Amino acid sequence: MPTLHPRLASVFDELVRRNPGEVEFHQAAREVLESLGPVVVTHPQYAEAEIIRRICEPERQIIFRVPWVDDSGQVQLNRGFRVEFNSALGPYKGGLRFHPSVYLGTIKFLGFEQIFKNSLSGMPIGGGKGGADFDPKGRSDAEVMRFCQSFMTELYRHIGEYTDVPAGDIGVGGRELGYLFGQYKRITNRYESGVLTGKGLTWGGSQVRTEATGYGTVYFAQEMLKARDRALEGSTAVISGSGNVAIYAAEKVYDLGGTVVAMSDSSGYIVDPTGVDIHLVKEIKERRRGRISEYTDERGSGARFIRGGSVWDVPCDLALPCATQNELSAKAAASLIGNGVLAVVEGANMPCTPDAVRAFQEAGVAFGPGKAANAGGVATSALEMQQNASRDSWNFAYTEERLHVIMRDIHERCATTAEEYGAPGNYVVGANISGFTKVADAMLAFGVI
Ligand code: NDP
Ligand code: 2IT
């Protein structure tokens, strides 16, 4: 593990002591602190004003009970969270995750990442994240609706267009956002479109928001490859996950002339050497809420399903982890490197372990961290807020072009900052320093609050 500047080491020690057991939060914070060494030297004012310590402490953390009744009449109980991490640049902004593994440490790591990602996006949004340890798998629509209504019955008092604007994440898509928005509107008696993003197109949503994270990740990958005189056209890609981010990343890989050879879900992965049929994946995962294993039954012809195992054993030029945190280990990195991968670009949040990231960097593989590469989702959420505020709606082509420009700008910001701080080509350093300094300058301007 790289050593930390002494000033940052004491911040990290304090963070571990104050947040015991929250290992993902420790991991996300450590990565940012490792990048900030040169900033402490060039900008002593940040450390003097304790900006780095303050940025590691959420402004507010809300934990609440979510009781609901299942289809058999049984009372169920979940725990809900909203961590309002930093509002220096705008209202707290970040998704809601519904997954049985969610605990405070998950939401804190995601909220922490979100501060720097949102800053880097160039949009006026702060950082936050929320969710619950609710498992939507196997639940009926009516059960998901009752859960969402109960969740919003507490959450509504903490959010608002100028305060905190949630959206989707794992387990939260169009269906859940519909139930959440409906309940917010009912409780508050306000049609406050800007309170949530990722809304349906007929009730205040933005074109391209559904596609934005996946499309943006691939636009970012395209810029990374261009910077190395390589092209996405003609390349093969392996994508983990088969949810929102993975599906639209795959769609954009095809749009730009590449081929997706493998995708996965939590039970295993499919390999289709002639190219994964993304229409079939959409039908199975989006429409039927089925399992990726169903793909081979319907596709036939050479496609295989491997239960368990690692999707990263499939040789490819481009690896796009789009499922969940720490899904790509050092062992998986060694396998990808051995098979000649050119670039690894994170569609998910923190999917590569620190050892895996180091292995890619040491092997000279281009590595795009999630807080830069997947920022297209939240950036398009900010475009949705902009449309809601002006009661306008833009067409698909215009909105996608805005997203494309945003992703090129983020790439440029990361590359320039990395170079400025003596780490050319290191997008982790570029993203962390660039994201941090903007927030830190705003916090300095506000004084000690
Ligand atoms: P979805 O719920 O749509 O899809 C998640 C996918 O990842 C599914 O295929 C799921 O498989 C798989 N997955 C989830 N948890 C695990 C796990 N513990 N182990 C193995 N596989 C898992 O979520 P999204 O596509 O929205 O999110 C994917 C990632 O992208 C997350 O890290 C999220 O934070 C990040 N992200 C999402 C954004 C968005 O706009 N939605 C924006 C930026 C980042 P299964 O169905 O079997 O559970
Ligand atoms: O991790 C993320 O950036 C998201 N889940 C999207 C957040 C948002 O507010 O659109």
Look over the chain and give the mean of its residue pLDDT values, rounded to a whole number.
97
Interval 425-441 mean pLDDT: 98
Which residue's CA lies nearest to atom 3 of ligand 2? Answer: 378
Is the pLDDT at 301 greater than 80, yes or no?
no
The model carries a pTM of: 0.98
* Residue listed under structure tokens 């590595």: 367
The token duo for 352 is 């590569």
Which residue's CA lies nearest to atom 44 of ligand 1? Answer: 348
pLDDT digits (tens, 9 = 90+) for 60-93: 999 999 999 999 999 999 999 999 999 999 999 9
Domains of the chain from N-terminus onward = 6-55 (no CATH), 60-190 (3.40.50.10860), 210-373 (3.40.50.720)
pLDDT digits (tens, 9 = 90+) for 48-63: 999 999 999 999 999 9
The CB of 244 under 6 Å from ligand 1? The reply is yes
Tell me, in angstroms, the distance from the centre of ligand 1 to residue 32's CA. Answer: 23
Is the pLDDT at 41 greater than 80, yes or no?
yes
Residue 160 dihedral angles phi and psi, to the nearest 5°: 165, 160
The CB of 353 under 6 Å from ligand 1? The reply is no
Tell me, in angstroms, the distance from the centre of ligand 2 to residue 153's CA. Answer: 22
Ordered DSSP codes for 12-28? HHHHHHHSTT-HHHHHH
pLDDT digits (tens, 9 = 90+) for 164-191: 999 999 999 999 999 999 999 999 999 9
pLDDT digits (tens, 9 = 90+) for 91-149: 999 999 999 999 999 999 999 999 999 999 999 999 999 999 999 999 999 999 999 99
Tell me, in angstroms, the distance from the centre of ligand 2 to residue 277's CA. Answer: 27
pLDDT value at residue 2: 84
pLDDT value at residue 353: 98
Q: Are 146 and 178 in contact (CB under 8 A)?
A: no
pLDDT value at residue 1: 82
Tell me, in angstroms, the distance from the centre of ligand 1 to residue 249's CA. Answer: 12
Catalytic residue list: 129
* Residue listed under structure tokens 């670009």: 345
* Residue listed under structure tokens 């049929």: 277
Percent with pLDDT over 70 in the chain: 100
Q: Are strands 268-271 and 304-307 parallel, antiparallel or unpaired?
A: antiparallel
Q: How far apart are CA 183 and CA 166, in angstroms?
A: 14
Q: How far apart are CA 32 and CA 435, in angstroms?
A: 10
Residue 351 CA, closest ligand 1 atom number: 32
Q: Which residues does a 6 A CB cutoff place in the pocket of ligand 2?
A: 93-95, 117, 167, 169, 197, 349, 377-378, 381
Interval 276-303 mean pLDDT: 94
Q: How far apart are CA 414 and CA 406, in angstroms?
A: 12
